[in-house]
Structure 1
Amino acid sequence: MAQLRRFLQVDVFTDQALKGNALAVVVDGEGLDEAQMAAFARWTNLSETTFLLPPTDAAADYRVRIFTPNGELPFAGHPTLGSAHAFLASGGDAKKPGELVQQCAIGLVRIKREGARLAFAAPPLKRGGPIEDAALRAQAARALRLAEAELLDLQWVDNGPGWMAVRLKDAAAVLALRPDFVAMKGLKLGVIGAHPAGAPEQFEVRAFVPDLGVPEDPVTGSLNAGLALWLQGSGLAPERYVAAQGTAMGRAGRVHVARVGADTWIGGDVTPLIHGQVRL
């Protein structure tokens, strides 16, 4: 039988309402089955909808399931920060002062508060390294309507969702893209290019995931986490930087990346918009 459950909708990776990536969070997810979760995610029609559940791992503060309109994800970044905000805003307590531990399908993810921001520790890549497959390289170029020579790098940066990353010559080239989503079928493609020296943001990022019902994602934490591990590990990015994402969609997403010791933290602001109940 349907019941009223606590519900939040938040804007992630922005301190300006309506300028980041929206996330729907059902705080009281216990008792819902997978079909109900998937149906609600299709109904919200946001890039992701999450459901908070009691953890099954004693080290975790809460468990989350993450759904797109077309299916479930093992991990995603903006749902991680938005779900952590919802957990705390709804009265959740961390077992360890100053740090939350989220349980999701890829395992445990650490989250910390940095002033007004939350940041998650980038999970290790499940698959990394250059993409050598000629057919994949050609498909990526066709999907972006570019010559293969314009793809400076094509890398796996897969931390669960299956991301491929393309590096272009600069941020302007990233913003000029007009992808072919039919040619992109089967790919989850992130694109990055550097802004000129002295700009407030060091990189421009775009994320294309048409197979998940999200042709372009406004701001993407999992992709930025994978990009950070690759770029910092290759000497292509400093230990601290800010990436802009969503510009081409009229958004103002900002992803704050910081490498501290062995960890790379992916941070952003969360702006609450809706707080109430949903009947599920």
Structure 2
Amino acid sequence: MIVHACLRDGLGGSPTLVLPDGDFSEAERRALPGAHGCSHVVFLGSEGALRFFTSAGELPGCGHGTVAALAVLAADGTDEFILRAGGRAFRGTARSTSAGVEAYFDPGPIQVRDATSAERATVVRALGADGPCVIATLGRPRVLVEVPDVAALSPDLDLLRAATDEFGLLGCYAYSAGKRYAARMFAPSIGVPEDVANANSTACLAAHLAADVTVDMGDSLGRPATITATVAGPGVMVGGLAVTA
């Protein structure tokens, strides 16, 4: 089924394919997102096991995919879950409302460091905008770049892919501060030129700022999305609203 994850005011969200896991080949798993108009597919296994795929292959984690999976798992009325993905077990919650399912999860430990001068120069050149950069690692490292206006960005995706590949980065999460945050996530190396909603990178932003954040994404793609990340003790809980199509 298709789940729209991290909607904003009941609209948009990231369309995500959610399927029971089964005897799929690698090629079949990679073909499914494109065939269904989605960037990602989530396979639900036994005992809360999750597997995430894009057209480029398997990912150790996917934030909006986890939100989508929780929305499906909550259909039987359960609201607390132990999920498994990327070699770890973690907590997820889901609460049914009149607007859909509010789903949140623990994305895991996050490490943040300053970007090196080489990382910053290469990524900024590809992004076409300058700003403070950090590297946040959640499963895989990604660069967070603060820019004046994410709506004005027009990155060179070929250069960005080369830059992120050079430094082993998942992608580039550009964000702007305002009444609330706005962000865009570019990840051409994993087959996602721009992500509608990226919950894991939003969790990284909350960890970097050491503050709760609400972030709007997806406007440039015509799919408004909103993600909320809350600092909870030493960790973060992140998620949003999901609706099954």
Q: Is the structural similarity TM-score above 0.5?
A: yes
Say yes or no: does 1:175 pair with 2:151: yes
Measure the CA separation in 2 of the matches of 1:63 and 1:255.
Answer: 23
3-state secondary structure, aligned to 1:47: coil
1:157 pairs with 2:136: yes
Cα distance, 1:34 vs structure 2:
3.5
Q: Give the ranges of 4+ consecutive aligned residues of structure 1 lying more than 6 Å apart after TM superposition.
A: none
> What are the ranges of 5 or more consecutive residues in structure 2 without an aligned counterpart?
165-170
Distance 2:216 2:105 in 1: 18
Indicate yes or no: 2:206 matched with 1:221: no
Deviation at 1:179, TM superposition (A): 0.6
CA contact (8 A) 2:109 2:138 kept: yes
Partner of 1:277: none
Task: Return 5+ residue gaps in structure 1 as ranges.
Answer: 1-7, 56-61, 233-237, 274-280
Counterpart in 1 of 2:46? 54
Tell whether 2:242 aligns with 1:263: no
Residue 15 of structure 1 deviates from its aligned partner by 5.2
Task: Tell me the residue number matched to 1:129.
Answer: 113
2-structure distance, mates of 1:164, 1:107: 23
Distance 2:58 2:6 in 1: 21
Alpha-carbon spacing, 1:162–1:223, altered in 2? closer, same or farther (3 Å): same
Q: Hey, what does 2:167 align to over in structure 1?
A: none
**Structure with greater helix share of residues:** 2
1:253 to 209, 222, 225: 225
Q: Distance in 2 between matches of 1:130 and 1:193?
A: 18
Query: Number of paired residues?
Result: 234
Give 1:19's aligned amino acid: G
1:42, distance to aligned residue in structure 2 (A): 4.6
Tell me the CA shift for residue 160 of structure 1.
1.7
Deviation at 1:44, TM superposition (A): 3.1
Q: In the alignment, residue 109 of structure 2 is paired with which amino acid? A: P
1:109, distance to aligned residue in structure 2 (A): 2.2
Give 2:86's aligned amino acid.
Answer: A
Give the RMSD, CA atoms, in angstroms: 2.0
> In 1, are the aligned partners of 2:70 and 2:94 still within 8 Å (CA)?
no
2:103 to 118, 129, 143: 118
TM-score (norm 2): 0.87
Partners of 2:214 and 2:112 in 1: how far apart? 22
TM-score where L is the length of structure 1: 0.77
Equivalent position to 1:85, from 59, 64, 71: 71
Q: 1:37 aligns with which of 25, 29, 47?
A: 29
Distance in 2 (alpha carbons) for counterparts of 1:86 and 1:257: 21
Identity score, percent: 24
Q: Deviation per CA, 1:117-157: give whole Å up to 9, x if none.
A: 111123112x520111x3322211111113xxx31x21111
Kindly state the Cα deviation for residue 17 of structure 1 after the two structures are TM-superposed: 6.1
Q: Which has the larger radius of gyration?
A: 1
2:157 alignment partner, SS class: coil
